[in-house]
Amino acid sequence: MSKQPDMQTETEDEGDVSPEEYVALSDFTGAGSDQLTFSCGDRLLVHAKPSSEWWWAEVREVIGYAPASYLRERATDEEEEGEDDACPDDPWQDEEYFGSYGTLRLHLEMLSDKSRTEAYRQVILSNSASLRNKVVMDLGCGTGIISLFCAQLAEPSLVYAVEASSMADYTRQLVKQNGCEEVVTVLQARAEEVELPEQVDVLVSEWMGNCLLFEFMVESVLQARDCWLREGGVMWPSSAALTLVPCQAHSYYEEKMAFWERPYGLDFTPLQPLAQQEFFTKPKFSHLIEPADCLATPSDVILLDMYTLQVKDLEEIKGQFHFCVDKPGSFHGFTAWFTVHFDSLETGGATVELNTGPHAE
């Protein structure tokens, strides 16, 4: 494995710290030579946690990187009794998923995304008059930021802030701290299990993940819509699109390749083919692309209408695209981003857009 020496040194420096034993929640196939491949139920020894997403682990005497989200800490023998055959089909539907949202790390990341948070704030502000006396569901409310926006910027009769994770306990405190407890009711429940005393006029949720659908929370949003959104109610976001464009990324590519030329005055060029393989097999998140790096006109490959989209439609999503590369350049891969639109509550009112692409401000 290409980075094994670095991780071994790190674990040696930690002294007598023993590796932690984890269990795989789902099958995983490594995309590169330094990523592990394992099956649901396999036991892995985690030697180091260099990042929150990827851990340095060992399975069947092979060492490499494993995605942290696919692992859970091994239970005691008593807790595991009778559970050897129990393995969830999808790790994102497991308790580990909701457990991760019970910590501040993910919420800090989301709240620090100013363009997203401000888009929701602007939607509520521009519809403040129409939200008066309306009933709102904020699904997957997290810290309750959207519910608090509704309570402070508009005059809804009630906001149901629904959160499945343990963060709900803190959300109640935040609601009270900001004087919104008469408007906002926090409910700790999954979307599929929540019970409301009434249907809602507006269902708002910040469900979009990387490449729009990562984490697949959209399924829960659709189920909540079918159960609790009244006829003629409004979905926020109202529509969504995933966009692709072939691009070049010279500075990032050169950064990854140049390091292996002569680090510390030594010739490491034999590692450059491996570095190139890793570059083309691992996605780079939060990549900032300049419009000049686009090699063709961007194309929407997935379009979702949040009013008509059905859960069964999510079983197989197909997107078609055709690119005509009309400028010279080096093709390093595709850049993906999403755009969502929020319908106005007023007929003919302005639509608010959240665009995470290269032309977004």
Q: Hey, which residues are catalytic here?
A: 206, 215
Q: What is the DSSP string of 162-181?
A: EE-STHHHHHHHHHHHTT-T
Residue type, 308: T
The packing angle between helices 250-258 and 272-281, to 10°, is 140
The packing angle between helices 167-177 and 145-153, to 10°, is 20
**CB of 306 closer than 8 Å to CB of 235:** yes
With b for 16 or more beta-carbon neighbours within 10 A and e for fewer, the 174-205 pattern comes to: bbeeeebeebbbbbbebbeebebeeebbbbbb
**CB of 132 closer than 8 Å to CB of 156:** yes
What is the Cβ-side half-sphere exposure of residue 300, based on CA atoms within 13 angstroms?
10
Q: Check residue 209 and report its DSSP letter.
A: B
CA separation for the pair 351, 361 (Å, rounded): 17
Query: Cα-Cα-Cα-Cα dihedral of 258, 261, 280, 217, to 10°?
Result: -60
Q: Which two tokens stand for residue 19?
A: 């590796």
